[in-house]
Amino acid sequence: MAQTSQPPLPPTGKYIHSVRESSRALREKANVQISTESIKRLLFSPSFTSTFERLKVAHGMALPLNFPSVASELNLLSLLSLMNFASGYRVPLHEATGRGAFDSIRAFIFSLYITSSIGTEDDLLSARGMQKITEGQVADFMGVAGKIHIERPHPDIPGVKVGELGGPVWELVQLVTKVMKETGIILANGGYHDLGSFVLEALKEGEKAKEKADVINPECEVAVERLVKAFPSFRDMSVVEGQPIYCFKKAMLTLHAIALRFGSSPTPPFPIPRTDNLPIFSDNVIPSLLIHLGVIDLSTSKPSLGVGSLFQEANRKETLDALLALPPPPPVMKLTSIPKEGPLLTPPQAFTLRACAIDACELIVETAHNLSDEELVGPDNQDLSWLKKITLPEVDAWLWAVAKDRADYRALERFALRGTTYF
C-alpha cells in the first residue's frame, strides 16, 4: 500500500464531521480556490440540468444476482464496498481485460459469489474462506491470470527472456489478496461468520444511537466508526503537511449502498441508515472531473504540494464550454480504445485533491440550496426549483456516473494513485 502517515482517529461521534472539517481545512491550507461563480456555472449548465435526474442515484452498486437470503445479499454488498478500490490500475486493467477498475472489482465479487458454496469449506465469502484465498484464485476470478507476468532478460543466457510475476496488474492482485485475508482474519478473531454479520451488528448498534440529539444521523456515525476502527482498508486518512485529512470513502459508501438497496422497502429487514447528509465518497474520478468542469481551481495552489501543474488542459474556455453544453450525440459504435493514463500522484497530492472534491461538493449543495427565486427560472421559463433539494450523495452519484455517460467525459484524464486500497 502507498505509505502515508496517519493521524489519530477522530473522537467518537465526530467521524463524519471530521471528514467535512478536515477537507475544508486542507483545501484552504493548499490555497485551492472554489468560487461561487464556477459552481453556478456548473449548476445552470445544460450538462447538469439535462442529466441530473437520470444519474443522481447511479452509484453502480446494484447486484443483479439471486440470493438465498437477505443476509447473503448484505454480505456481498458489504464485500463489494470493501473491495471498491483499484482506481490507480484503470489503464493496466483496460489493457489486460477491457474493463476498468470498478468493473474489474465487481467481476471479481460476482465470480466469488458464483463459485462459492455458501456454508461449506469452499465458501470464499465467509471469514474463514477469505483467510484462505490465494493470489492465484484472485487472478483467476479477476480474469487476469495471463496478465500477471513480465519478461526479463535471462541472467545467464544472452538473448533469452524469462517470465516472472510482476507488473501493475500483479501488484493489484496482491493488494486484493491482502485485503481479503486481512479482513477475514479480523472477522474470525472477532467471532463473525462474515463481513455482512459485522455490518449488520454495526447497523443495529447505530439504530440505538438515534436518540442522540447532538449529532446528525448518529446511526451513520456509529457504523462508520465501527468499520474504520475494525478494518485497515476502511482507515482512509492521512496527514498532509501537518494537516490531518479524513476521507472514509468506502466506509460511508457501504452505508449508502445499503440504504439505496434496502431503504425503499416498506418493511426493511434491518435498520437502514439515513445517508442523505453524508459527505461525498471521494475517489479519483470526482476530483478530476470537478477540475475539468472548472469548479476546482488549482492555479493558485501551494507550490510545495505540486498539484498546480496538474491538468494543464483544464479551464480553457473552449474546452469548458463544450463540457458544460448538452451531451454530444453518442458514438455509433462502443468505444474500445484504451483510456489515457492521467497523472500519477503521490499520496499527499491525492489526499489533497480528494479533500478539495469533498469541500467543493459541500459548497455546491450549499449554493444550490440558497439560490434565489429569480435564479431558479431557467431558459424558456425552465423550472429549476429542484436544485434547492439536491443532496450530497446525489451530486456524488451524478459526477461519478456522468464521467462514464458521455464519451467526451470518458476521454478526460483522471489522476491515479497506485498501491492504495482506499479508492
Q: Apex CA 329: angle with CA 323 and CA 333, to 5°?
A: 115
416, part of any domain: no
Q: What pLDDT band is residue 1 in, cutting at 50, 70 and 90?
A: very low
Range of the domain at 354: 15-410
> What does the pLDDT read at residue 379?
83
Q: What pLDDT band is residue 403 in, cutting at 50, 70 and 90?
A: very high
172, part of any domain: yes
418, part of any domain: no
| Amino acid, res. 328 | P
Q: For residue range 234-273, list pLDDT tens digits in order.
A: 999 999 999 999 999 999 999 999 999 999 888 999 999 9
Query: Does position 201 have pLDDT exceeding 70, yes or no?
Result: yes
Q: For residue range 211-229, list pLDDT tens digits in order.
A: 776 778 899 999 999 999 9
Q: CB under 8 Å to 367, separation ≥6 — which residues?
A: 36, 39, 40, 43
Q: What pLDDT band is residue 392 in, cutting at 50, 70 and 90?
A: very high
Contact between residue 410 and residue 288 where contact means Cβ atoms under 8 Å apart: no
6, part of any domain: no
Q: What pLDDT band is residue 94 in, cutting at 50, 70 and 90?
A: very high
For strands 237-240 and 161-165, give the pairing.
unpaired
421, part of any domain: no
79, part of any domain: yes
More reliable by pLDDT, 3 or 370 = 370
For strands 149-153 and 161-165, give the pairing.
antiparallel
Q: What pLDDT band is residue 194 in, cutting at 50, 70 and 90?
A: very high
Q: For residue range 116-168, list pLDDT tens digits in order.
A: 876 666 799 999 999 999 999 999 999 999 888 777 776 778 777 766 778 99
- How many structural domains compose the chain? 1
Query: What is the Cα–Cα distance from 40 to 364, expressed in whole angstroms?
Result: 8
Q: What pLDDT band is residue 60 in, cutting at 50, 70 and 90?
A: confident
338, part of any domain: yes
415, part of any domain: no
pTM for the full predicted model: 0.93
Query: Does position 287 have pLDDT exceeding 80, yes or no?
Result: yes
State the average pLDDT for the chain. Answer: 92
Q: What pLDDT band is residue 64 in, cutting at 50, 70 and 90?
A: confident
Nearest alpha-carbon partner for 246 in 3, 9, 59: 9
Counting runs of H as helices and runs of E as strands, what totals does the chain give?
Answer: 17, 4
